[in-house]
Chain A
Amino acid sequence: MIQVERLRVVRNESVLLDDVSFSLARGEVVALLGPNGAGKTTLVKALVGLARLSDGCVEVEGRPIGSYRAGERARLLAYVAQQQDFIWDLEVGEIVALGARSPEDATHALAKFDLGTFAHRRIKSLSGGERARVMLARALAAQTPFLVADEPAANLDIKYQRHAMQRLRQAAQTANVGVLVVLHDLNLAFTFADRVLLMHEGTLVLDAPAADAAASLVLDRVFGERFIRTTVEGRTLVLPAGEPE
């Protein structure tokens, strides 16, 4: 269980996060939503130890995250950044193997993300979307209890967006991984997440099961949109419909 209590991050006199509290259990998929500048990336960075906390704490399995050494923390939390640069032109297989729990886990992860034939391709020869899948595969291969991904769908083709979310959901269910995903696509979130966190100007304004979040009018307020909820093929879709009335 990851427990976040009253997290506060201030940088250069601007409050990036204020009084954020929530929990992430193993086996559940939680989507983090919000408009740009709401503090999603800051929250994710605070979670993985890349941002200094001005107040509050993050506890992983009962211990503050700062009390873990770098190596221990890496075995608890896998992180996929929003943007990833590659200085060294390593092969896809080599990258996924870095930090993998075992070579078999690396091979399985490659297969899960349709990267089997890419194993000997150099990373810089891949497109943005393909690289994103490589980093997701790498995170999965680490077989950690928790996985945090910052906008993994951003560069992916539509097919691979759903595909990636399916894989993450599968990891949550079969390997009991607690997954936190930052997403921009609301429907992707409502379809694949168990729970939704909604951020607005540095605070958490909604923490609810996916279905309830989809129906909530807080969405409309936060995004400044009028959303139409409709059910298609048994699934609830949330569609932007213009200015609020």
Chain B
Amino acid sequence: MKPGALTISLAVALALGGMLVGAMLGVTSTDPLRLLSAIASSDPSSNDVLLAWRVQRVVGAFLVGACLAMAGVIYQGAFRNPLAEPFLLGSSAGGALGAVFAILLPWPWLSAVGLPVMAFVGAWGATLLVLGISRAARIEDAAGMLLVGIALAALLGALRSAVTLVLADESVSLRALVSWTLGGLQSPTGTTLWTFAALTALCLVASLALARKLDILGFGEATAATMGVDVGRFLTLALTVAAFATGLAVAWGGVLAFVGLIVPHAVRWWIGERHAPLLLHSALVGGGFLAVFDGISRSVLAPSEIPLGLLTSLIGAPFFLLLLVRRYR
């Protein structure tokens, strides 16, 4: 389908619909009217508080999904490879290390700073480090940066293992740490949620500004250079933006590994490969789907909660295989 008013409307419908379904699901199902009255209510009963919590949570899930999808599109464009995904340049290793520090280190200022900030700093910081090292070593091509990313991820992973081994004892729940690493929403609310939303919108705007050059990069780094793309600088800029979005997603959603890979793919099959519409549609579709998945994670085995990342992999992988098979038939 050609991207246009119809596809955007569908994507928005998927996004809103996803959030609605996600908000309706939970320990108990709720109908949309109850949800609306709950958010609007000025003197919230405890039921209303919970419904408001749920609504904010699915909005958070939407934002995490949108960020991962956008980052996925940019990474695939920068690496000129549809198999690229947002955690290629150390974001997951860095984010997990930040989380481990926040959860295991007994420093009081760390608890004040909080888990999401530490995870964000770790995730974005790791990729900035990769980009910085690449710059210093005059590595300007994506393949070289990938190697730097692999090395740094290994280093950060080892650091994380070491810190965990040293600091984990009976006073710490390793299970909670593992669960975070598998991925799960942190329930951002109030001003934090608004800030998150604003930053996500900012990422979208920045990504759209990169879209045309991502298209041009598809001709190959040599041809792109002759078409006005300063490849080294552009890659650094694009990946910095993508890593920022990834950092936001990791801060509030842990390491959700599968979303940034399949959403851009599926959306490409739907509306084509030009990056500008791809970014917008992927953000909407990715967010909508993650909101639904969050609802599922809270309702299928209620009152237990399935770690969201587990769900996205368990459901996402076979679904992706199905799409792949149908496309190649």
Q: Give residues in A with beta carbon < 8 Å to B.
A: 48-50, 69-71, 73-75, 77-79, 81, 84-91, 94, 98-99, 120, 122
Contacts and interface: CB of A to CB of B under 8 A. Distances in A.
B216 A98 contact: yes
B273 A50 contact: no
A81 B222 CA distance: 9
Interface of B: 2, 77, 80-81, 212, 215-216, 218-220, 222-223, 225-230, 272-275
Nearest to B230: A70
A69 B230 contact: yes
7 contacts: A73-B228, A87-B218, A90-B218, A90-B274, A94-B215, A94-B274, A98-B215
Contacts of A98: 212, 215-216, 227
Contacts of A73: 226, 228
A124 B220 CA distance: 15
B223 A79 contact: yes
Nearest to B212: A98
Given A70-B228, A74-B228, A99-B227, A50 B215 contact: no
Given A81-B223, A99-B228, A91 B272 contact: yes
B219 A85 contact: yes
Given A98-B212, A99-B216, A70 B225 contact: yes
B229 A85 contact: no
A98 B272 CA distance: 16
Nearest to B278: A88
Contacts of B80: 87
B218 A77 contact: no
B215 A88 contact: yes
Contacts of B2: 120
Contacts of A86: 218-219
B219 A84 contact: yes
Nearest to B219: A84
Contacts of A75: 228
A151 B163 CA distance: 59
Contacts of B272: 89-91, 122
Interface centre among A49, A69, A85, A99 (most CB of B within 10 A): A99
B227 A84 contact: no
A79 to B, nearest CB: 4
B273 A89 contact: yes
Nearest to B222: A50
Nearest to B214: A88
Contacts of A94: 215, 274
Given A89-B273, A90-B272, A50 B219 contact: no
Given A49-B226, A71-B230, A99-B216, 8 more contacts: A49-B225, A70-B228, A74-B226, A74-B227, A85-B219, A86-B219, A90-B272, A99-B228
Nearest to A91: B272
Given A79-B223, A81-B222, A88 B228 contact: no
B226 A77 contact: yes
A84 B223 contact: yes
A98 B229 CA distance: 12
Nearest to B276: A94
Contacts of B223: 79, 81, 84
A50 to B, nearest CB: 5
A99 B217 CA distance: 12
A13 B216 CA distance: 33
A88 B273 contact: yes
A90 B215 contact: yes
A79 B218 contact: no
B143 to A, nearest CB: 14
Nearest to A45: B222
B30 to A, nearest CB: 42
Given A70-B228, A91-B272, A85 B215 contact: no
Contacts of A78: 226
Interface centre among B2, B77, B216, B218 (most CB of A within 10 A): B218
Nearest to B223: A81
Interface centre among B77, B223, B225 (most CB of A within 10 A): B223
A243 B112 CA distance: 87
Nearest to B82: A87
Contacts of A77: 226
Nearest to A99: B227
A122 B229 CA distance: 23
B7 to A, nearest CB: 15
Contact of B226 (A79, A89, A90, A122): A79
Interface centre among B81, B216, B228 (most CB of A within 10 A): B228
Contacts of A99: 216, 227-228
Contacts of B275: 88
Given A81-B222, A88-B273, A71 B216 contact: no
Nearest to A48: B226
A77 B223 CA distance: 12
